[in-house]
C-alpha cells in the first residue's frame, strides 16, 4: 500500500488543531488568567459571606437563649417574691384572727347565739364510705317485666336503707 501525506476524516468533523491560542498570545493569556482569578476571588467572597452568615446565625441563637434565660430567672425571682408575700399574708391572717373577737362580733353585730341542747342533733356517720350500684336487669315478657321491675326497684330501695 502506498502511504500518503494527508489524513482523510470521514464525516463533517475536522481534525482539532493542537494549537493553544492562549499560550502563544500574551494578551489573551493575561485575560484568561484575569478571568480565572476573578472567578476564584468571587468564590472566596461567597464562601466567606456564607461562613459569616452561619456564624451570625449561631451567635443570634445563643443571644436569644441567653435573653430567655435572663427572663426566666427574673420571672422565677418575681414568683418567689410573690410566694413569700403570700406566705406572710397567710401568717398575718392567722395571727390576727382571734376567735373571741369573731364570737363577739357574731353575737353583737349579727345577733347570733349559741344553740340550746334541744336544737343540737347528732348524726352518726359511718367510717366506711361506700356506694351501692344497682344493676339493670332485662326481662323478656311484658307482664313479668313490669311487675319484676317494680319488685327489683323495691328490693334495691330496701338494700339502700339497710
CA 126 vs. chain centroid, Å, equals: 46
| Cβ 152 vs Cβ 139: under 8 Å | no
Q: Where are the domains of the chain?
A: 21-127
DSSP string, 54-119: HHHHHHHHHHHHHHHHHHHHHHHHHHHHHHHHHHHHHHHHHHH--HHHHHHHHHHTS---PPPGGG
If you ran DSSP here, which 8-state letter would residue 126 be given? -
pLDDT score at 137: 57
pLDDT score at 132: 67
pLDDT score at 7: 64
Reported as a single tens digit per residue, the pLDDT across 89-117 is: 999 988 888 888 888 889 999 999 888 88
Coil, strand, or helix at residue 47?
helix
Convert 59-76 to b/e letters by CB count within 10 Å (16 or more is b): eeeeeeeeeeeeeeeeee
Q: What CA–CA distance (Å, rounded) separates 6 from 146?
A: 123
pLDDT score at 87: 95
Q: In whole angstroms, how far apart are CA 66 and each of 53, 56, 77?
A: 20, 15, 17
Q: Is the pLDDT of residue 35 over 70?
A: yes
C-alpha cell at 4: 500518503
If you ran DSSP here, which 8-state letter would residue 11 be given? S
Question: Average pLDDT, whole number, for the chain?
Answer: 82
Q: What CA–CA distance (Å, rounded) separates 51 from 45?
A: 10
Residue 128: pLDDT band with limits 50, 70, 90: confident
Q: Cell 391572717 appears where?
A: 93
Amino acid at each position: 500500500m502506498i502511504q500518503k501525506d494527508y489524513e482523510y476524516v470521514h464525516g463533517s468533523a475536522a481534525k482539532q488543531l493542537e494549537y493553544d491560542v492562549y499560550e502563544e498570545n500574551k494578551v489573551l493569556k493575561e485575560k484568561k488568567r484575569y478571568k480565572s482569578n476573578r472567578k476564584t476571588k468571587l468564590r472566596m467572597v461567597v464562601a466567606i459571606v456564607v461562613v459569616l452568615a452561619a456564624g451570625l446565625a449561631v451567635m443570634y441563637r445563643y443571644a436569644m437563649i441567653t435573653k430567655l434565660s435572663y427572663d426566666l430567672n427574673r420571672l422565677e425571682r418575681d414568683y418567689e417574691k410573690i410566694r413569700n408575700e403570700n406566705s406572710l399574708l397567710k401568717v398575718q391572717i392567722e395571727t390576727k384572727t382571734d376567735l373571741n373577737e369573731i364570737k363577739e362580733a357574731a353575737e353583737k353585730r349579727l345577733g347570733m347565739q349559741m344553740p340550746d341542747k334541744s336544737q343540737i342533733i347528732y348524726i352518726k356517720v359511718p367510717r366506711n364510705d361506700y356506694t351501692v350500684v344497682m344493676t339493670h336487669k332485662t326481662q323478656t315478657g311484658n307482664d313479668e317485666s313490669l311487675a319484676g321491675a317494680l319488685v327489683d326497684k323495691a328490693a334495691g330501695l330496701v338494700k339502700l336503707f339497710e
